Structures are given as structure tokens and as C-alpha cells.
A and B are shown apart, each in its own frame.
Chain A
Amino acid sequence: MTGNSTNMILAVEAHGLVKTFGAFRAVDGIDIAVPTGAIYGILGPNGAGKTTLLRTLLGIIDPDEGHRSLLGQDAPLRMAAQVGYLPEERGLYPSMKAYDAIAFMGALRGLPLKTGRERARALMTTHGLADAIDKPVRQLSKGMAQTVQLLGTIVHGPRLIVLDEPFSGLDAFNQGRLEALIREQARSGVTILFSTHVIAHAERLCERVAIVAGGRIRFEGTVAAARDRLRPQVRLRTRAIDGGWRRALPQDAVAEGGAWHFGLPALGIEPLLRALLDGHAGIESLSIERPGLHDAFVAIVGEAAARQMDGEDAR
């Protein structure tokens, strides 16, 4: 899995990570390699083990087995000053003023409080929260509070930002702003590692993704590689209902809504086109759609679930 990454400088690396809670293996032998400067997505359904994986990588909890390293350091918390982390369960002190909350999060990671306060004011102004600078956190809307926490994650200028389900709870407008902020950070050379179960964000943002299910990585690679795992889908509409040309349709062809749907044949579309033309099928429309990451995700997670049902993963 990490074969094509071995020559890269890795921001996050782990081998054989295992974390169990009682009899439940939340992380079950995970290998991961996040290249420096990448936007890397960890995708998975609810309960797949994404949060436990991130917490283990960050050093919040220790693994039962395996090895991890963060920014080249085997003891992850030693790099805390160079890491920003937005946990899945958002938390701020309600009585703190917004700018102070940001500065406090920076101070935890070694940023002097005075500098933190100055940066917090600037960041809040830049990100449209100028009116909320002196407001206590308890007076902020959920979206504003989430933005404040996100700014607290970046205020100290980290080299690696880890975001656990960063888009959850945000409206479409704020999701867009968050995506812009992630891109902006990545452009300045910061490595972004985030988890999500909303695939559209990963598809737009990530260069590489890992799809996790049942505590294991089921796919790791580029978004394009994930999409390439599925055959492109062909949609064909003809004027003729029947004829010899139908024998040329692949076996998986299904008639639905007045059109035929099937995966792109291994030999390509040309032999089928020839058969359709020779058989006077009367092509009304023909489209070839490349599967999205969402389709790949559903297929990969589905396969994983099927394997688990079959007991393939049983020890």
C-alpha cells in the first residue's frame, strides 16, 4: 500500500496499528502513509474506526500494537507544537472570549499568549468574524463557534493539521468556507489529514484517500485510482426496441426507464457501436459516465461488509 510512497517525505506514517476496546478491534492492523504537503482524506462509514485511528496517530491514546510517527517523530505529542487538531466533538470554554479561546489553543501548543491574541484578532477579521472577537463563546452560533475552534487549530502555524469530521454540523456556505481554508493552508505547504463520511468533500479536496471500514484500510491511493476501480457506466437509448443488435449488449445490461444501463465492456465501446449501427438500433443517445468517488466508496465499503459477513475477516 505504501509502496509508491516510500520515497516521499511522510508527514504521518503508521504500520500495523491495532487498538482494541475490550473485544472490539476499533483499529485492526492499519498501515498509513501521508505525504508531506498533501490533502489526505480518511473516508469511512460511521463506526469505521476513523476517529480512533486519528486519536492513535496523534498520541491521544496509545496503540496496543504497531508503530506510528508524526512529522518524523515516533513520540507524536513531542510534535504537538507543529500540529493542529480539530476533534470530532467540538469543545470550547463557554465563558471565554472568542479571540481568547483561539489564543488559548495556540498557547497550549507553545504560542506566546500575546502573539496568539494578536493573531486571533487578525484571523477572525480575515474570516468574517470581526464582530465576534470580544464575544464570549456561549454567545456565538454553532457555525461561528466551529470556525473559532478551527482558527484555534491553525493559529500557531502548524505543519500538520488533523481534522476529524470537520464539515459535520456546518451549513453549505460554511462548508465552502472551510474547503477554501483547507486549500489555503495546503497551498502554504501544510499537510492536511481529515476524516469524513461525506465523500463529496474528499473528492473535491483530496489528492489521496484511505477508505476505512471495520477498522481496516480497504483502499489507499489517489482519488482517480479509487474511481478507476469501477468500470465506467454506459447509458444507451435506442429507437428500435428489438433486433439482432441486442445480442451485442453486455450480460450486465439492464433496461430501466427506457434506456439500457451497463458497465463499459472490457474491449471498449467501439465493437458495441459497430453492432448497433449494423443492426439498425437507431441510437438516440449514448453516454459514458465515469464513476464518482462516492460510487467507489459505496462499492468498497459494501465489499468489506460482505467479506465480514462471509467471515473472511474472522480470526
Chain B
Amino acid sequence: MSEIMRAAYVIARRDFSAVVFSKTFFFFLLGPLFPILIGMAFGGLGEKISTTDLRPIVGIALPAADAARIERTHAILTERMGPQALPRLRRVATDETPAALLARTDSGVAAILSGSIDRPRLTGKAADIDRLEGDVSLLVSATNATESLRMIPVERHEVATSRGAQAQAQMLLGRVAQVVIFFLTLILAGMVLSNLVEEKTNKIIEILAAAVPIDAIFLGKLLAMLAMSFVGILFWGGSALAIFLATRDPATIIATPAVGWTAFIALGVAYFTMAYTLLGSLFLGIGAQAATVREVQTLNMPVTMAQMLIFFFASYAVDHQGSAADVAAMIFPWSSPFAMIAHAAYDDAIWPHLLALLWQAIFVAVIIRVGVLLFRRHVLKSGGAGWRGLFRRRSAWGA
């Protein structure tokens, strides 16, 4: 084992230096910041597009007094429920029939409310009526009710703790941690796919294979990419923290994870490492079979899809705590890191994490062994022990 670790370190050091001291690494670091900067620059505009402009418009063809009442109610409800809750309203001419108005190319409305507040009538295509009927009915009912009901103020009674609210906030925190780990593995682990292609195209693999165990080559490459990922994470994390602190609303309260912040961050690092190495070792094994960069590129899409599936599975499990899906997500090696970091947010037990990390580490070792076996068999064309030799050191290294 010490020889494998020594050789893995030599390989990892070479790969790490080759990547980190290359000119392209600068763009790698800046890459993930582009969407954030663009998002900040165009965020306001995007928000307007997504929340306001895309809401359907209902034409109001009511008598002027009724139209004014319903517009007032719309404003009150929008203030309480948010701008995207209700369709927009626009007054239209009352001297034409709703059907005629809707037939005009410049009408700009999805449906037309006519009649009166007491006997409203909604005209539109069946599908538009289906989606707008409920909102319009609510608006009209509220318009009538504001004149007969009065608002009763709620008495405020504050408590220091609320387990339900805390649980919800922790679940949200767990989900955020899941998303962060997922995105980091999504953008970082995929790079491992092409990691052995350089050695194969430059014929260096022969030199490596003659000098060190193949396990060490795989492990070294994985460690190098992991170390490079941590450099990126430190940079992006530092940038994100700086932006957060600079733009933070002092009133914002972030839930404390169940295991505490120190343990949560440590577990986050550990689970990212595991998620990365689990996926990375799989990708390395698959990528090692590829002979050219083109083959690796072809593999990229299905690999990304597989990652998405795993993430959706783990996300689903968070919403169904204690269910069979939750247990399966914790056990299935590739979803386990995502499921477990969410658990760390809302469950204070530490021992399941130690168990999970051990379980995941075992799988990393198994995947590397399988990758090595396939590499030896299909790339080096070496026969030998077959699947029975999965856990046995190759004969060239001795039993």
C-alpha cells in the first residue's frame, strides 16, 4: 500500500503542477464566476421578465366603477401575495363584444371579464378560461368581500424557538448544501473523464505502467484533480463569501445545521471529496477505456445525464425523510454523499456520517480496482486473474 501511495503522490504532483501552472487554469478559475457576474448585472431585468411580463393579461370590460373596484382589490391582493400570484389586468373598450375584441390581433389579452361584479362573465379560449377562472373568481369575490368584511389585526406572540420553523430552515440548508456539492462535482468531476487520454496519446502510459502499479496511476490522477478542485473551491468560495458579506441583509437569519457549523462544514468537505472521488473514479475508469479525445467527448453527455439522475434521486429523498427512498439514497454510493449532507443539516447524529464515509470510501476503492482491471485487460491487453483477482494484487507486483 505504501508503494501505491508513494507512486500516487508522484503522479498527483505532476498532474497538479501541469494543470495549476498552466495558462488555462486562470480561465478555469474565472469560469464559474461569469454566470454570477452576468446574473448580478442582468438579475433585475431577468426577474422582471420572469415574474411580470410573462403573466397572462385579463381584459376588463366592466362599467367604470366596477373596473376601479376590482383594480383596487387586485392591488391589495398583489401586495400580500406577491406580484406573480395573479394575472395582470388591463381595461378594454366596452363598446365591442369580448369575442370581437379577442379576435383582433392587437388585443394583447388572454381573456376578457365582462358583465358586472355581481354577475361576472369570462370570455376566452377554453384553455385560457381553465387557467384564469379561479384567479378571476378570487378577485371578484374579494372585491365583494372588502365591502362587507373588515380586516382583524393579529395579536403578535413571539417565542425564542420554533422546532417546526427550524426544521424547515434546516431542510432548506440541507438542500442548498446538496445543490452546492452537486454543482461542484458536476463541473469538476467530468474533467477526470479525459485524464488518461494524454498519457495514452503521448505513449507515456507504457512508462508509467512499467514503473508503478496501475492503481497508483488511477489514484494519483484522482487526487491531483481533487486537489485542483479544492484550489478552485477555495477561490470560488472566497469570492462567494465576499459577495455574500458585502450584500448581506442584516435581517437575514441563517439556520444553524443540526450538527453545528464546524461539523457541517467538515462533513461538507468530506462529502464533496467522496462525491468527487466516487464519480471521478467511475469517470476515470470509463475514460481510460477511450482511445481518443473524441470518444471522451461522446461520453460527456450520458455522464452528465447520469449525474443529474443521481442528484434528482437525492433531492427527492430529502423531501421524504425516513422513507425507503431516503434510506436507498443514503445507501446507494453515488447518491449517498448528497443524501447524507442533507441529513447533517437536520439530524444531529454524527455516527451515521462516519459509517457513510467509510461505506463510500470502500466503494471508491472497489471502483478504482474495477477500473484498473478493465484497463489492464482492454488497454494493456494483459490477461491474468480476471474478476476473481479484483481484490488481489496483480502477479507482477506479487501476492
Contact = CB atoms under 8 A, between A and B. Distances in A.
A80 interface: yes
B14 interface: yes
A96 B14 CA distance: 9
B382 interface: yes
Given A62-B394, A76-B396, A91 B205 contact: yes
A77 B207 contact: no
A218 to B, nearest CB: 24
A32 to B, nearest CB: 17
Main secondary structure of the interface of B (DSSP, over half): helix
A92 interface: yes
B210 A87 contact: yes
Contact of A60 (B10, B14, B204, B209): B209
B7 interface: yes
A110 B6 contact: yes
Interface string B13-26: 11000100010000
Interface string A104-137: 1101111001000000000000000000000000
Contacts of A168: none
Most chain A CB inside 10 Å of its own CB: which residue of B7, B376, B383: B383
B: interface residue count bin = 35 or more
Interface string A6-22: 00000000000001110
B80 interface: no
A93 B382 CA distance: 24
B202 A92 contact: yes
Interface of A: 19-21, 55, 58-64, 73-78, 80, 83, 85, 87, 89-96, 104-105, 107-110, 113, 152
Interface of B: 6-7, 10-11, 13-14, 18, 22, 198-199, 202-213, 376, 380-385, 394-399
29 contacts: A19-B383, A58-B210, A59-B395, A60-B209, A60-B210, A60-B382, A60-B396, A62-B382, A62-B395, A64-B383, A75-B396, A75-B397, A77-B212, A77-B213, A77-B394, A77-B396, A85-B207, A87-B206, A90-B203, A92-B202, A92-B204, A95-B18, A96-B14, A96-B18, A104-B10, A107-B10, A108-B7, A108-B11, A152-B207
Given A55-B210, A104-B14, A109-B211, 20 more contacts: A59-B210, A61-B382, A62-B385, A62-B394, A63-B383, A73-B398, A75-B397, A85-B207, A85-B211, A91-B199, A91-B202, A92-B204, A93-B14, A93-B18, A104-B10, A105-B207, A108-B10, A108-B11, A110-B6, A113-B13
